[in-house]
A and B are shown apart, each in its own frame.
Chain A
Amino acid sequence: MAAEATGERPAFPHRHLLGIEGLSRRDVDLILDTAEALRDISQRRIKKVQTLRGRMVVNAFFEASTRTRVSFEIAEKRLSADSVNIQTTGSAMQKGETLLDTLQNIEAMRPDMVVIRHWCSGAPQFLARHLRSAVINAGDGQHEHPTQALLDALTIRQAKGRLDGLRVAICGDIAHSRVARSNALLLRLCGVEVRVFGPRTMLPRGVAEALGVNVARTFEEAVEGSDVVMMLRIQKERQGADMFPSEREYARRFGLTPAALERAAPDAIVMHPGPMNRGVEIDPVVADGDRSVILDQVENGVAVRMAVLYLLSGPHDAIE
């Protein structure tokens, strides 16, 4: 039947979603297509289906986050999963201990899935090795933020009708950004030409080779002819004062203004993972302008997370 009749795609062949690294193009397409199909639930009068009824999800956030956590929570509710939140912002001194202790506690709650955000790179991998549940990485240190990259790809695909052959500029703090890393990995996987640019102090050496992206020498060069301009948030909380001169200086040299956007393709779209520093990395006129798809990104975030929860809820025959 099914498989024979239309060559239906198999279930998602991974037990966890730890990063974009390790996913195939086919996996990405399956997630995006599933998200597309699930999007309409959020537009219905009854914004809920029973699909994950009786499944339990633990949202373990070891780093302050409102929008990602809320987005996951909404996705879980739309699918009728039961969810609980654990939030701790433990100090660096306690890290090994805290994570192991918490792990035991989480396991005792017998969750089907664990969504984890952690300031330490690799924490989701660590959990995945020790937990029986499926683990979803909601951002770990400077490593990966796969659902962000997936929702960005969905937003681009909706606006442009495709991914292959597009040109995307990612600008800002490349060094500290897991968003940049996951996005670069995913976009390269999907045949997108990626250019990155940022202050010299925020462009890690060897980034071009590591991620398969081009490093632009100037902001203008990065934006020139781009189909998508993706601005990253300056993470004030994550870096010392010596990384960039001042907010005003940053805005002048690295901020996306209407004038800077002129250089992009005529139908270019503007993206930002949020929360925005208005007037720093992005001019409010651009953020609120008709090229901005920033609110579409938020809406797609729920759909992509629903898709990931759904796909990881299935039977796992092995793999990974």
Chain B
Amino acid sequence: MLEATDRPAIDARPAGLLDAGPVADRFVEKQVLMDRQAIDRALRRIAHEIAERNGGLEGVRLVGIRTRGVDIARRLQSLLAGTEGAEPPLGELDIALYRDDALSGLRLPEVRPTRMPFDVEGTTIVLVDDVLYTGRTVRAAIDAIMDFGRPRSIQLAALVDRGHRELPIRADYVGRTVETRRDQSVLVRLDERDGVEKVAIREPAEGRDGG
């Protein structure tokens, strides 16, 4: 968890951290992994790989996982429009109803709208998220998509892969792979939502027990 998405992280562990107060009080930034230029380069490469691997954009649909996955999917959409001359349709997925910890967790996630403005039947879905961690979010997202129909295939794009998978899930497109410890968090900040553009690693502040 603490992946700095504003989805209450599905991967909450240790659970006690969740309600321990604002993250800002407990975590300090250790290292900036990607700056504006690095993020931009990574997304351009991913866009290129999506088009290359699928032989164009025929039947390709982008589906962002709320919240920053949607922002990243939008950027990929416009990058692809620039290089391929066509915008792949974009869906927005809220996974609150599909979380495996929704009813056992410490807080009930807020349900926000899911928008799937196309028929998923027979399409190639590219799921987009900011940070890939345990894989539980992706598992939930796959379940959510399957409830709309049967895509031909589902691929996964993540800006950052920080390891520690708990499920047999891997990304097809990765901006940056980084080794992390479980007690660290990966913070993604994007212009359109945060007014800042960076990916950083944070860790528990010295002298605090982190909850």
- Residues of chain A whose beta carbon lies under 8 Å from any beta carbon of chain B: 1-6, 8-12, 30, 33-34, 36-38, 40, 44-46, 48-52, 55, 307, 310-311, 313-315
Interface residue B28 (Cβ < 8 Å from any Cβ of A): no
With the chains together, A55 CA to B97 CA distance in Å? Answer: 14
With the chains together, A311 CA to B103 CA distance in Å? Answer: 10
B108: A residues at CB distance < 8 A:
11-12, 310-311, 313-315
- CB-based contact B98/A51 at 8 Å: yes
Q: List 17 A-B contacts (CB under 8 A).
A: A1-B4, A2-B8, A2-B9, A4-B24, A5-B6, A6-B6, A30-B110, A37-B112, A40-B113, A40-B114, A44-B147, A44-B148, A45-B149, A51-B97, A51-B102, A310-B97, A313-B108
Q: Is the interface of A mostly helix, strand, loop or mixed?
A: loop
- CB-based contact A34/B107 at 8 Å: no
A30: B residues at CB distance < 8 A:
110
Interface residue B33 (Cβ < 8 Å from any Cβ of A): no
Output the nearest chain A residue to B6 by Cβ-Cβ distance. A5
- CB-based contact B5/A5 at 8 Å: yes
- State how many angstroms separate the Cβ of A13 from the closest Cβ of chain B: 11
Interface residue B143 (Cβ < 8 Å from any Cβ of A): yes
With the chains together, A38 CA to B113 CA distance in Å? Answer: 7
- CB-based contact A9/B147 at 8 Å: no
A51: B residues at CB distance < 8 A:
97-98, 102-103
Which size class do B's interface residues fall under? 20 to 34
- CB-based contact A4/B22 at 8 Å: yes
Among B6, B97, B102, B113, point to the contact of A36 (Cβ < 8 A): B113
A36: B residues at CB distance < 8 A:
113
- CB-based contact A2/B7 at 8 Å: yes
Q: Which 9 pairs of residues, A with B, have the shortest CB-CB distance?
A: A314-B108, A5-B6, A2-B8, A11-B108, A6-B6, A37-B111, A51-B97, A4-B22, A37-B113
Interface residue B56 (Cβ < 8 Å from any Cβ of A): no
Output the nearest chain A residue to B119 by Cβ-Cβ distance. A45
Output the nearest chain B residue to A79 by Cβ-Cβ distance. B97
Output the nearest chain A residue to B189 by Cβ-Cβ distance. A5
Output the nearest chain B residue to A310 by Cβ-Cβ distance. B111
A37: B residues at CB distance < 8 A:
94, 111-114
Interface residue B23 (Cβ < 8 Å from any Cβ of A): yes
With the chains together, A33 CA to B96 CA distance in Å? Answer: 14
Among A6, A40, A315, point to the contact of B105 (Cβ < 8 A): A315
B67: A residues at CB distance < 8 A:
6
Listed residue (A5, A34, A48, A310) with the most chain B CB atoms within 10 angstroms of its CB: A5
- CB-based contact B97/A11 at 8 Å: no
- CB-based contact A313/B6 at 8 Å: no
- CB-based contact A315/B97 at 8 Å: no
Output the nearest chain B residue to A8 by Cβ-Cβ distance. B110
Assess A49 versus B98: contact at CB under 8 Å? Given A1-B3, A1-B9, A4-B23: yes
Among B5, B107, B185, point to the contact of A314 (Cβ < 8 A): B107
- CB-based contact A48/B8 at 8 Å: no
Output the nearest chain B residue to A45 by Cβ-Cβ distance. B149
With the chains together, A317 CA to B143 CA distance in Å? Answer: 29
Assess A3 versus B110: contact at CB under 8 Å? Given A48-B147, A49-B97, A51-B98: no
- CB-based contact A50/B98 at 8 Å: yes
Interface residue B128 (Cβ < 8 Å from any Cβ of A): no
Output the nearest chain B residue to A3 by Cβ-Cβ distance. B22
